[in-house]
A and B are shown apart, each in its own frame.
Chain A
Amino acid sequence: MRGQKQEGLLLDEPLIFERSRAGRRGVDVSAPSATPERYLPAQWVRPEIDGFPEVSEPEVLRHYLRLSQWNYGAATTFYPLGSCTMKYNPVVNEALARLRGFTELHPLTPDEMAQGALELLAELEQWLREITGMSAVTLQPAAGAHGELTGMKMIRAYHRDRGNPRQRVLIPASAHGTNPASAALCGYSTLTLEGNQIGLIEPHAVRKAMNGEVAALMITNPNTLGLFEREILQIAETVHAHGGLVYLDGANLNALLGVAKPAHMGADVMQINLHKTFSTPHGGGGPGAGPVAVNEVLEPYLPVPRLVRTESGWRWSEEFPRSIGRVRTFHGNFGMHVRALAYLLALGAEGLAQVSRLAVLAANYVRVRLSEAYQLAFPGMCMHECVFTDKGFDASAVRTLDIAKRLLDRGFYAPTIYFPLVVPGALMIEPTETESKETLDAFITAMLEIAREARDAPQRLKEAPVHTPVGRVDEARAARRPILRWTPAPSPHLACR
């Protein structure tokens, strides 16, 4: 297609820069009353930027519309990407986040003139408190990992106030990569806890690792294998007995709504990924929002500003002397907060409880149906997702990657692959509560046929995908000879092209 003749609907679409023709533009701007040199020293004024696009409005529209057609989204396609909770993103939430009363609201508007926004944020905080059982919430963090950083900073500040920030954080081997990376950003070394033969953390492993230099345990529940950490109460008790705190990675909250509250599990602090559990769209890589919920112990350390209630309404307050400070500008990803609250209001108490029940139902249904052809990483009931491996395909040398690519040919996005790292060749499937039984059945049929193909015609998997806009992409080449941008004329430092 690109650079080659193509037929039908697979359209060749060059880079926007390659569509440029001198003199075109896609916006008309009123002429300024004076030239820049009137206000700025001439040597500071920049000429037009070499290589910048010169494209008309209809061409820009067509360019990005075509690119959109080369994408799969959860709205167009079943997207069983484990750990990512690719549920339906209600369209009305897009309309609500675009109400002028929100989009044209400047973040430094005096509080009295932004009461609608403050009320909305206060209400979202309240819903999140009730769902998690925690006592206070900050909405400032921009994503899950940002929430982890915020939570770990708070843990560090807490220990520092007690005279010793401590050195280490315990993290299960199955944890998401952001957990150890966030702990390290807060100056902690990490100690990996191995799970047992059924995929769970055992209290005695925690007991062995705990001491006065361990600041916290970062634990995901349900864990990234889709399993509920059954000994969580005893584990948390052990951590607390040594003066440590429990950080709960709340990325998997979609399994817990009205099922169990993190506060009751002994969590002191957790992040909530609004872009997972509460349906704000993933946007092809964000923006998300990662509110952090804490109990009374950590409340004084929450980022500022915080919402406080006064007689004349809500206002932002910075008067929290033990706060860790700010983690970003303004008040967080407000547009995502609007969407998340809209989702919560739409579902209400029973709807939320139903979310987790149906998500766990769908995951177990897929687990049971696929078990005949694929090996589960760990047997038994799962929560909102299940993890298989590529064991059993050794004879034909078919790997997880091949299975994933063949699924694309069958019209499905691939599961999360090679994560968690503790499962060799992991295939992590999270169907979510918003996919119909027909869709799940079609996916199951495709997976079962792929398993058969893997034995009978493995070449088809190795060559997949063949029905996608491009064929299998050479990742090794991209890393070996990085070309990270287009350049108007090849310059020496990017000569690798």
Chain B
Amino acid sequence: MSIQVHRTRSTRTTVRFFPHNDTEIQAMLDAIGVATLEDLFRDIPPELRERATLDLPPGLSEMDLYTRVESLARKNFASCDRCFVGAGAYAHFIPAVVEHILQRAEFYSAYTPYQPEVSQGTLQATYEFQTLVAMLFDMEVANASMYDGASAAAEAVLMALRLRPARRRVLVARSLHPQYREVIRTYLEGSGPYSLEEVSFSADGATDIQDLTRKLGEDVAAAVLGYPNFFGVVEDLAALVNAVRACGALAITATTEPLALGILRPPGEYGVDIAVGEGQSFGMPLSYGGPGVGLFATRLEFVRTMPGRLVGETIDSAGRRAFVLTLATREQHIRRERATSNICTNHGLMALAFTVHLSLLGKQGLRQLAALNLARAHTVADELERRGWQLVFTRPFFHEFVVAHPDARVRYQSALEQRLLPGVPLGRWYPELEDALLLCVTETASAEATQALLDALAPQSC
């Protein structure tokens, strides 16, 4: 519980990461022409130097370190097979090949591929990533990644405001992930004379098209919709996107669960202008919510206003195909305060995980895994309904759904006590859904845990 910081001065120094012995240190000092290591810092005002001592514990051997950190890991309830929560972070099985590739130090210890001649591995994999993201969303072009789905959504809104400079209002569906809405709000605040309004959802859980139409106008730059939305509900994108685009605004979708696009018609087919998402489902563990990877795709005509890095195909001096970072004149290192975004470090290694996992799943595996999640979630939803829970929304859903019960709170607690994560209570974000839980069922939930969940939430005897 308490932080174990021992307030003692250390007695031994960790040396395993440092390659020099005393003779070598002395030789380097001699070459520089100073007597001691401390002399290297003579440009620093003494009043700063004097107060710089670190009141921290001594270092640990690798064995002690392992034990110490492992003891923290043990204190968590962490189990994909007993997890029925999604809400923007999904428990999916990760094939061993993904982890094997991610642990290649040639990949993980490289920097952003500034020297293409010795970075073709990262560059080609990123080019494949851009292609996979574009295909999954059915958009023309995708970038090399953003931090996460929410920051990608916020950047999409900023991009829409650049593309529609005369317009100042932005609409977001209230059925969009609450944290995505919060991040969009944070990014917009103070960035310009913009206003953000929410569009309500109807009784069926989908965005209320009447409310949307009422709020749309010539001054609206963009509308952001969840697809599927936070409740797992599949929006009727055709009608919504048409309404948004008819008034000249940009239609933006945010997908927290890209696996759904293995089975649902993609945003691009409905004419969406910018499709963003969170890619964690493909190849990244839950890891308490990060790192995942932000997905960002749009129309080719908008590419020069797009944020983030891009890899392009070109040739080398011998005319062979090669890949390279390109269209960098949009970026901060060249354009500075006029850049399309401030992003520099992105989520490259997670983009690789996404790429390897999707390459393994492939055309058939992706679709089948999506179908499996769809079917399993519906089986659990049907059973809960049979046992007296109410399915709150009537529209088709993917693998998340909202259920309510007068005893929801008590039953939720008793499920937690049985070491299950029985969904998330929605009251904290939607006061009107105080007695409702958002549940998610993926392929990782075991049969035993699923039975335990049903019995805890809906005991047969009651």
Contacts and interface: CB of A to CB of B under 8 A. Distances in A.
Contact of B106 (A32, A76, A153, A275): A76
A67 B288 contact: no
Nearest to B312: A478
16 contacts: A54-B362, A68-B104, A69-B106, A71-B122, A73-B110, A97-B287, A105-B287, A145-B345, A165-B190, A187-B192, A232-B45, A348-B56, A349-B55, A361-B25, A478-B313, A485-B131
B117 A465 contact: yes
B97 A106 contact: no
Interface stretch (B57-65, B165-173, B209-217, B385-393): B57-65
Contacts, number: 752
Contacts of A494: 140, 300
Interface string A401-418: 000110010000110110
B17 A434 contact: yes
Contact of A51 (B37, B135, B361): B135
Nearest to B440: A106
Interface stretch (A205-213, A292-300, A329-337, A392-400): A329-337
B108 A283 contact: yes
B76 A285 contact: no
Contacts of A29: 361, 365, 368-369, 372, 443
A184 interface: yes
A131 B59 CA distance: 15
B74 A101 contact: yes
B40 A381 contact: yes
Contact of B371 (A32, A54, A102, A414): A32
Interface residues of A, number: 220
Interface stretch (B200-208, B332-340, B403-411): B332-340
Contacts of A16: 128, 355, 359
A176 B73 CA distance: 37
Given A17-B128, A153-B189, A334-B287, A72 B119 contact: yes
A258 interface: yes
A101 B19 contact: no
Given A68-B121, A75-B109, A477-B315, 11 more contacts: A3-B320, A20-B363, A49-B136, A63-B359, A70-B120, A101-B73, A146-B147, A165-B190, A286-B346, A437-B19, A474-B324
A104 interface: yes
A95 B103 CA distance: 10
B118 A46 contact: no
A285 B348 contact: yes
| Cβ-closest 10 pairs across A and B | A330-B289, A285-B348, A101-B73, A107-B289, A283-B349, A116-B75, A348-B59, A73-B109, A26-B360, A75-B105
Given A53-B359, A353-B54, A470-B322, A105 B78 contact: yes
Nearest to B39: A381
Contacts of A127: 56
A255 B260 CA distance: 47
B147 A328 contact: yes
Interface string B366-379: 11111110111011
B432 to A, nearest CB: 19
A351 B14 contact: yes
A360 B101 contact: no
B117 A408 contact: yes
B344 A284 contact: no
B88 to A, nearest CB: 6
B117 A326 contact: no
Contacts of B431: none
B69 A89 contact: no
Given A4-B320, A329-B149, A330-B89, A27 B349 contact: no
A279 B26 CA distance: 26
B137 to A, nearest CB: 10
B344 A144 contact: yes
A27 B360 contact: yes
A149 interface: yes
A436 B23 CA distance: 12
Contacts of B107: 68, 71, 73, 283-284
Nearest to A352: B54
A88 interface: yes
A143 B136 CA distance: 26
A349 B54 contact: yes
A419 interface: yes
Contacts of A20: 362-363
B234 A40 contact: yes
A81 B312 CA distance: 23
Interface string A370-404: 00000000001100000000000000000000001
B69 A96 contact: yes
A192 B80 CA distance: 51
Contacts of B186: 153, 303, 324-327
A236 to B, nearest CB: 12
Contacts of B99: 98
Interface in A104-136: 104-110, 113-117, 119-120, 122-123, 126-127, 130-131, 133
B191 A483 contact: no
Nearest to B9: A349
B344 A345 contact: no
Nearest to B269: A46
A142 interface: yes
B160 interface: no
B312 A482 contact: yes
Interface in B19-73: 19-20, 24-25, 27-29, 31-34, 37-38, 40-45, 47-49, 51-60, 62, 65-66, 68-73
B225 interface: no
Contacts of A61: 97, 100-101
Contacts of B245: none
A27 B76 contact: no
A457 interface: no
Nearest to A233: B45
A28 B362 CA distance: 11
A23 B331 CA distance: 41
A102 B24 CA distance: 40
B339 A106 contact: no
B246 interface: no
B266 to A, nearest CB: 7
Given A261-B51, A347-B14, A109 B76 contact: yes
A449 interface: no
Contacts of B239: none
A30 B372 contact: yes
A174 to B, nearest CB: 12
B394 interface: no
Nearest to A76: B106
B52 A68 contact: no
Interface in A62-99: 63-76, 79, 81, 84, 86-90, 92, 94-99
B303 interface: yes
A364 interface: yes
B3 A485 contact: no
A482 B323 CA distance: 11
Q: Which residue among A70, A89, A273, A331 has the maximum number of chain B CB atoms within 10 Å of its CB? A: A70
A112 to B, nearest CB: 9
A334 B350 CA distance: 13
Nearest to A419: B333
A214 interface: no
A13 B289 CA distance: 34
B318 interface: yes
